[in-house]
Amino acid sequence: MENKTSLPRHTPRNVNYVHAAEIMAAGFNTRLAVWLTEHVGTMWTAYAFAIIATIGLLGILNLLSPIVVLLVAWLSQTFIQLVLLPIIMVGQNVLGRKSELQADEAYATTMKSYADIEAVMKHLDDLDEKIFALEQLIKQQTDSILAIVQESAKDTIPRV
């Protein structure tokens, strides 16, 4: 059965490969942002930040030299917040592209399925009309045959 809708043919694709190809084709900045985003969201990073916070606490308690306190403050307040945050946001945007691709693919597949269902329903409606017409023709022919048989039965049965 041929698809007679105006929608173009849709061939499903694996968006995991498409997204991986987009990341590989991207520049260094994008790949770095994705790598950092994927690795900052780990327990090892949480442990590293806990160590930095502990060093900061030791500095506040005057158990470490003032230069260490300043370096930890700079690292935690300036570098991590002002540099790492925008990089992570870029990485999330790039990784969010995969969700967009998946949503687009799901939409295209749904629309293709809808068009196919519409075509099947139209075909079934056409078949219903043809079946109804054939039923009517068979009924007419059966009625005609019965009428002929009844007429011939009247003619062949002797009257008493």
| 160 residues of the chain, pLDDT tens digit each | 454 555 567 777 788 888 888 888 888 888 888 888 888 888 988 898 899 889 888 888 888 888 888 888 888 888 888 888 888 888 888 888 888 888 888 888 888 888 889 999 999 999 999 999 999 999 999 999 999 988 887 777 666 5
Q: Is residue 112 part of a domain?
A: yes
Q: Which residues contact 59 (CB under 8 A, 6 or more apart)?
A: 66, 68, 69, 72, 73
User: What's the total number of domains in the chain?
Assistant: 1
Q: How far is CA 53 from the centre of its chain?
A: 41
What pTM does this model have? 0.50
Q: Is residue 43 part of a domain?
A: yes
- Predicted pLDDT of residue 1: 46
What is the rounded (10 degree) CA torsion for 71, 75, 77, 83? 150
Q: Which domain holds residue 64?
A: 15-116
Cα–Cα dist 54/15, whole Å? 43
Q: Is residue 111 part of a domain?
A: yes
